[in-house]
Amino acid sequence: MNNKTNINWYPGHMTKAKREMNEKIRLVDMVIEIRDARIPLSSINPLLDEIIGSKPRLIVLSKADKAEKEETDKWIEYFKEQGYQAIALNLIGDRNITNTISSCCLTIMKDKIDRLKKRGLKRVEIKAMVVGIPNVGKSTLINSVSKRKLARTADKPGITRALQWIKVSDEVALLDTPGVLWPKFEDLRTGFMLAVTGAIRDDVLPLQSVIEFAISFLIENHKNRLVRRYDIEVSEDIFETVNRIALSRGCIQQDKTIDYKRVYALILKDIRDNQLGPISWEIIDADIE
C-alpha cells in the first residue's frame, strides 16, 4: 500500500450519516464535537465544518485518562487559539460532567442568550447536539449527562420515535441521538491512529501494518514502557521487538514458530486498555507544522 491511498472503507455510511446530520443539525443551536484526546486531529471528520456551518461548537477531548495530560493541555490551548471552546474529559471517571457541559454551553451561547433576554424572553433554552466519530464517547457523554442508560432503540430500523431532549440544566438540553460522523482518511498515518485507538474496525487496515506503526512509535517515544510491560530489551528494530514480545509472552505455535496473530492481538489490546500507560499518539510539536 502506498502512503497516499484513498481508503474508501465505508462510503455508504458516510453519505447516509451526512444526510441524517443535515436534518438534525437544523434543530439545534450548537454542536458538542467529541474528539479523542489521544488523536485530536485524526478523530476529526473533515465534513463537519460543512455540515454545521456557522453554528457554535464546543470541542470535548474524550478519554483524557488515556492520553498524556501535558500533551492534552497543549491541544486544548491550540484549539483555544483557533477560537474554539475546548475541554478535556474522562467521560467515565470525571465528576460533575453535567455542570461542566452546561456551563461551557452557556458561555458559548452567552451573546445569543443575552440578546433573547433583552427582547423580553424569560426562559431561554439552548439546544445542543453531540457529534463525533464511532467509539469516541458520544453515548457515554449523553448517558452521563442524563444520569441514566438510554434505550438504544434508535439503532433498529423501522422504529420511528419522537425526538427526545435531555435536560442538562434549566437552560441547556441535548438531543438524545448523537450524530455519527465516519472518519475519513486519505493517508495511512491517520488510518493507523484510528486503528490503534479503536475508532475503526480491525479489518479495515492490515493488522501487521498497524502493529508496525504502533511499535515504531512506542520505540521512539516510550521505550521504557515496552521494557517494563513485556520484560524485554527493546531493539531499535521493529520486527525484533515484536519477536521478543512474542517470546516473552509465550505467543508460540506448536511448530515452535511465532504466533503473530496472537502477539498482534495482545499488543493492540494492551494499548487500548491503557496497559502501557496513557499515550498521546498525536503530539502537537510533531503533528502541527
Ligand X SMILES: Nc1nc2c(ncn2[C@@H]2O[C@H](COP(=O)(O)OP(=O)(O)OP(=O)(O)O)[C@@H](O)[C@H]2O)c(=O)[nH]1
Residue 284: how many other CB atoms lie within 10 Å: 17
Residue in 70, 84, 85 with CA at minimum distance from that of residue 37:
70
Q: Which of residues 124-153 bind Mg ion (CB under 5 A)?
A: 138-139
Q: Which one of Mg ion, ligand X, none interacts with residue 63, CB within 5 to 8 A by kind?
A: ligand X
Rank residues 138 and 184 by Cβ distance to Mg ion and give the closer one.
Answer: 138
Would you call 258 exposed, middle or buried from its count of C-beta atoms within 10 A (0-12, 13-18, 19+)? middle
Q: Which of 22, 98, 100, 139 binds ligand X (CB under 6 A)?
A: 139
Given the rule CB under 6 A, which of 72-80, 84-92, 218-226, 234-242 is the region that contacts ligand X?
84-92
- The answer to the question of residue 184 lying near ligand X (CB under 6 A) is no
Give CA 87 to chain center in angstroms. Answer: 13
Q: Name the minimum Å distance from CB 164 to Mg ion.
A: 15
Given the rule CB under 6 A, which of 4-12, 15-23, 86-94, 220-228 is the region that contacts ligand X?
86-94
CA dist 177 and 24 (Å) reads 9
Q: Name the minimum Å distance from CB 134 to Mg ion.
A: 8
Rank residues 145 and 215 by Cβ distance to Mg ion and give the closer one.
Answer: 145
- The answer to the question of residue 90 lying near ligand X (CB under 6 A) is yes
Q: Which of 17, 59, 60, 91 binds ligand X (CB under 6 A)?
A: 91
Q: Which of residues 63-82 bind ligand X (CB under 6 A)?
A: 63, 65-66
Q: Name the minimum Å distance from CB 36 to ligand X.
A: 9
Q: Which one of ligand X, Mg ion, none interacts with residue 134, CB within 5 to 8 A by kind?
A: ligand X
What single string gives the DSSP state of each residue in 218-270?
HHHH-HHHHHHHHT-PPPSSHHHHHHHHHHHTT-B-TTSSB-HHHHHHHHHHH
Q: Name the minimum Å distance from CB 159 to ligand X.
A: 17
Q: State the residue for C-alpha cell 433583552.
A: 118
Rank residues 130 and 215 by Cβ distance to ligand X and give the closer one.
Answer: 130
Rank residues 110 and 161 by Cβ distance to ligand X and give the closer one.
Answer: 161
User: Are residues 258 and 251 in contact, defined by beta-carbon separation less than 8 angstroms?
Assistant: yes
In the chain, the DSSP E strands lie at 30-36, 57-62, 85-88, 126-132, 165-167, 172-175, 179-180
**What is the b/e burial string over 176-200, where b = at least 16 CB atoms within 10 angstroms of the residue's CB?**
bbbbbbbbbbeebebbbbbbbbbbb
Q: Name the minimum Å distance from CB 89 to ligand X.
A: 6
Helix (DSSP H) and strand (DSSP E) numbers for the chain = 12, 7
Residue 6 Cα distances to 12, 190, 192, angstroms: 15, 11, 14
Q: Which of 102, 140, 197, 241 binds ligand X (CB under 6 A)?
A: 140
Rank residues 138 and 244 by Cβ distance to Mg ion and give the closer one.
Answer: 138
Rank residues 137 and 191 by Cβ distance to ligand X and give the closer one.
Answer: 137
Q: Which one of Mg ion, ligand X, none interacts with residue 171, CB within 5 to 8 A by kind?
A: none
Query: Would you state the cell numbers that stand for residue 180, as one nine-digit string?
Result: 455519527
Rg, the chain, Cα only: 21
The site for Mg ion (CB under 5 A) is made up of 138-139
The site for ligand X (CB under 6 A) is made up of 62-63, 65-66, 90-92, 132, 134-140, 178, 180
